[in-house]
Amino acid sequence: MIPDSEFGYELLVCRYAELAWHPDGDARPAIVSRQLGTQRRRWDTVVIEVDPEAFALRRAFGDRSLDSDLLHVVRSAPEAWEWYRDALPDPGYPWRYVRQAVHRVAGRDLIEKRRRGNRIEIRRVRPYPDWVERVVAIENKPDLDRSAADALADQLAHDVETALADEVWLATEATGDRVEPALLRSMPVEAGVLTTGFAEADTGPGGFAVDAAAATVDWLPSDLAPSGPAGRDPETATRRLEIAERAYGKGWRSYRDTMRPDCRHFELRRAGRALVPRCAAKGRCPTARECSGSCPEFSPEPPAWRTNGWPIEGGPGKGLRALLERRRERVRDRIGPDPDGS
Ligand code: SF4
C-alpha cells in the first residue's frame, strides 16, 4: 500500500530526507523544501546541503528568503560607505529597481544606508556567506508504471543535461514485490533511484510511516557538478542560490499556509516520525489543491473552539500552523536529524 496521494507521498519523502540525508549513509547537514525550481522545471523535493558554519551566518540575515533583487544588493554591499551604483554590479536592468531593492534590504536591517546629497550610500552589516554546498532534486513517483516512467525519464534527462542540481533522484515506493527493474533501467544512468518502504515501516492506522531506515538506494546518482576550476557559469550559480534561498524561507511544511488547518475536518496524523495532514471528512490525506476555502466540505472551526479552554491561543487551526512552524525552526536550529521528534 502506498500513501493515498502523491502529495502525501511527497511529504513523507521530505521528512525522510530531513531525517536521513544522505541516503548513502554519509550524514550531511541539509534543509529540505518542495515544489521549487525554475520557470521551466519544478522539482518535487529539493534538498540543500549546507556548510553548517556558513549556514549559521546565513541565519543572521533572518528567517525570510532573499529574492534575486535583494541578493544582488546583499551579496555585493561594500564594507565601507559607497554610492550604491559604484558598489553594486551593473544589474542589466534599470538602476531604479536596484534603488527599490536597496530600500527593501535596508528596511529589513540587512544593510545600512544613508543619503549624501541626492546620492544613496550603502554599506554592509555583515558579509553574505557562501552557505550552499550542493543542490539535490528528487522526483517522487510512488506508483511507477510505464507511462510515468517515460515522462520521468525525459524530465530527469533534462535535469542531468542542465546540471542545475548536483544530483538528481527518483523516489518510488516498493509496492508488493520490487519495482519493475525494466522501468528503473529506462531512467538516465546519472539519476539515483531511491526505493521507499513507507508501507513496510511500523505502520499505524494511516498505513504508512517514515523513519530514517524507510528507504534503500537502488542506484547511486552521478555527481553532475561541472569538473574543472571554472565550475558553473555565474548565471547558473545565481539561479541555484535563488532556489536555495527559497528553500530556506519556505521549508517543506509550507502547506500550513496554503491548506486549511482552520477547517474542523483538518487533522495532523502521525505516520511514524512524520506528521501528515488528514481530512476527517474525506478519510484520507487531501491534496494541497482540494484543501482550500473552495472545498465543498470546508467547515470553519467553531468560534467556541478558539475561546473555550483550547490550550493553544487562537484555536486548533492556528495551533497546527504554529506547530508546523516550530518544526521548521527546530530543524534550522539543529541542522540535522532530530533524534526524538517529528
Ligand atoms: S473538508 Fe476540505 S477544507 Fe476541510 S480539511 Fe477536508 S479537504 Fe481540507
341 Cα to the center of ligand 1, angstroms: 26
pLDDT at 231: 83
Task: Tell me the whole-structure pTM to 2 decimals.
Answer: 0.90
Question: Residues of the chain whose pLDDT is less than 70?
Answer: 1-4, 175-179, 200-207, 305-315, 336-342
Question: Quick one: pLDDT at residue 72?
Answer: 96
- Residue identifier of the C-alpha nearest atom 8 of ligand 1: 291
Instruction: Output the pLDDT for position 310.
Output: 54
Protein residues with CB under 6 Å of any ligand 1 atom: 260, 263, 265-266, 279, 281-282, 286, 290-291, 295, 297-298
What is the model's pLDDT at position 339? 39
Counting from 1 in the atom list of ligand 1, the atom nearest the Cα of 266 is 5
Give the integer Cα–Cα distance in Å for 112 and 82: 11
Among 221, 44, 11, 14, CA closest to 134 = 221
What was the pLDDT predicted at 338?
45
CA distance linking residue 149 with residue 143, whole number of Å? 10
Closest CA to 20 of 274, 288, 318: 274
CA distance 273 to 16: 9
Report CA(328)–ligand 1 centroid distance (Å). 23
Spatial contact of 211 and 12, defined as CB atoms under 8 Å apart: no
In 44-145, alpha helices (H)? 52-59, 68-76, 84-87, 95-107
